[in-house]
Amino acid sequence: MNEIDTNDIKTILTDISKKIVIPKFKNLKDNEIWIKNQNDLVTIVDIQVEDELIKNLNNLLPDSLFVGEEMYSKNPKIVKNYLQKSYCWTIDPIDGTKNFAKGKEKFAIMLALTYEKKILQSWIYKPISEDIISAKFENGSFYNDKKIKIIDDTPINNSVGSISSKYWEDNDFLKIKRLKNIFKEINSYGCIGFEYVDLSLNKRNFAILSKLSPWDHIPGILILREAGGFDSYFDQGNYQHYLNKKNLIVSSNKNLGKKILSSLKE
């Protein structure tokens, strides 16, 4: 397979955004927002965007497989698609659903293409600004057409980032609680896609993550890696999208990531 052209992806995402997303931004009806899995917010836009993406991406790459956030909520077994000898798309139709539902602009559409254990390409699209951030394995990360590279040596006591607020096991929560005081600032965008982008643009320094749904992290991980960032599970080892694991550190530079890991063990 030749690489997927980012211009083709942007055309698909822009068309879907203008058709489905933007008309509903700040215009959702009460019956178009509900709770799934007892905890997570979902809107009619999440459902419609995922459906449209599946149709369009299947035309772009016939016979490919899919793992979508909304598909998963109905059939968790679809994560087995990652280990099939086939190209597989990962879709987060609206990353930052709560922001979108509240009329806040930090939300994104995220995509990634994998083949078995390898992340090949990924895209994060911002519907409001129509910017697209992309990456290709061993070929770099790009903000629209401009190649991006992280240049950051921020020390841990001056770093800014986020820490997941739920899904921690008791022992991990105690470690995280002790860790919070060593950073300059902790805040969450409510949209991990935006955080991955800003990590790759030298605007943020770290994120400490508990639950690792693949649609939330595969797109951003490749962008971060190709821009020069760092990722590691608490128990060492790089993030692997096909593993059912928790607890990850991502950072704008290796030294900071290693320092956070060391601080967790103290």
Q: What is the pLDDT of residue 173?
A: 80
Query: What are 142's two structure tokens?
Result: 């790009």
* Among 122, 148, 174, residue at a domain's last position: 148
CATH number, domain with residue 194: 3.40.190.80
Q: Are strands 33-36 and 40-43 parallel, antiparallel or unpaired?
A: antiparallel
* Among 102, 124, 148, residue at a domain's last position: 148
Check whether residue 134 and residue 232 sit in a common domain: no
Check whether residue 134 and residue 248 sit in a common domain: no
Q: What is the pLDDT of residue 63?
A: 95
Check whether residue 188 and residue 143 sit in a common domain: no
Check whether residue 128 and residue 164 sit in a common domain: no
In a domain, 133, yes or no: yes
Q: How does the average pLDDT of the chain come out, rounded? A: 95
Range name among 9-23, 130-144, 158-172 with the lowest pLDDT average = 158-172
Q: What pLDDT digit, counting tens, does each position of 81-111 carry? A: 999 999 999 999 999 999 999 999 999 999 9
Domain that holds residue 247: 156-265
CATH number, domain with residue 47: 3.30.540.10
**Residue 172: pLDDT band by 50, 70, 90 thresholds?**
confident
Check whether residue 161 and residue 228 sit in a common domain: yes
Give the chain's domain count: 2
* Among 148, 180, 213, residue at a domain's last position: 148
Q: What is the pLDDT of residue 62?
A: 96
Q: How far is CA 58 from CA 55, 61, 70, 157, in A?
A: 5, 5, 17, 46
Check whether residue 11 and residue 112 sit in a common domain: yes
Q: What pLDDT digit, counting tens, does each position of 108-142 carry? A: 999 999 999 999 999 999 999 999 999 999 999 99
Give the whole-number percent of the chain exceeding pLDDT 90: 89
In a domain, 215, yes or no: yes
In a domain, 1, yes or no: no
Check whether residue 133 and residue 224 sit in a common domain: no
Higher-pLDDT residue of 160, 173: 160
Is the per-residue pLDDT at 177 higher than 90? no
**Residue 170: pLDDT band by 50, 70, 90 thresholds?**
confident
Q: What is the mean pLDDT of residues 52-73?
A: 96
Check whether residue 54 and residue 131 sit in a common domain: yes
Check whether residue 12 and residue 103 sit in a common domain: yes
In a domain, 201, yes or no: yes
Is the per-residue pLDDT at 2 higher than 80? no
Check whether residue 20 and residue 144 sit in a common domain: yes
Check whether residue 13 and residue 123 sit in a common domain: yes
Check whether residue 121 and residue 52 sit in a common domain: yes
Range name among 34-43, 97-106, 114-123, 256-265 with the lowest pLDDT average = 34-43
Residues 227 and 148: beta-carbon distance below 8 Å = yes
Is the per-residue pLDDT at 56 higher than 90? yes
